[in-house]
Amino acid sequence: MRSWFAKFSVFIAFYAVATVSANIIAPSFGRVPISCLGDGAGNVAVRSAMYCMLNRNYVTPSMLTLVSALADQVDQRFPGTTTVVLDGNFPFWDGFPLLPHLSHADGRKLDIAFFYKDSSGNFVNRATRSPIGYFAFEQPSSDDEQPCDGRRDILTTRWNFDWLQPFFPAYHIEEKRTAFSLEWLTTEGVERFGLEKVFVEPHLKKALGVEGGAIRFQGCRAARHDDHIHIQVK
- CATH code of the domain covering residue 205: 3.30.1380.10
The per-residue pLDDT for 41 is 52
Is residue 195 included in any domain, yes or no? yes
Q: What is the pLDDT of residue 122?
A: 97
**What are the b/e assignments for 2-34, b being 16+ CB within 10 Å?**
eeeeeeeeeeeeeeeeeeeebbeebeebbbbbb
* Domain contains 168: yes
* Cβ atoms 220, 101 nearer than 8 A: no
What pLDDT does residue 97 have?
80
Residue 149 within a domain:
no
Domain that holds residue 60: 2-137+156-233
The answer as to whether 111 is a domain residue is yes
Q: Cβ of 93: how many Cβ atoms within 10 Å?
A: 12
Over the chain (234 residues), what is each successive 10-residue block's mean pLDDT? 55 55 81 77 86 93 97 97 96 86 92 97 96 95 87 86 94 97 98 97 95 92 93 96
Residue 15 lies in a domain: yes
* Number of domains making up the chain: 1
pLDDT at 169: 95
* Residues 49, 46: Cα–Cα separation, whole Å: 7
Judged on CB neighbours under 10 Å (0-12, 13-18, 19+), 51 is buried
In a domain, 187, yes or no: yes
Q: How many Å apart are CA 234 and CA 230, to the nearest integer?
A: 14
User: Residue 73 CA to chain centroid, in angstroms?
Assistant: 18
Q: Is residue 88 part of a domain?
A: yes
Whether 8 is in a domain gets the answer: yes
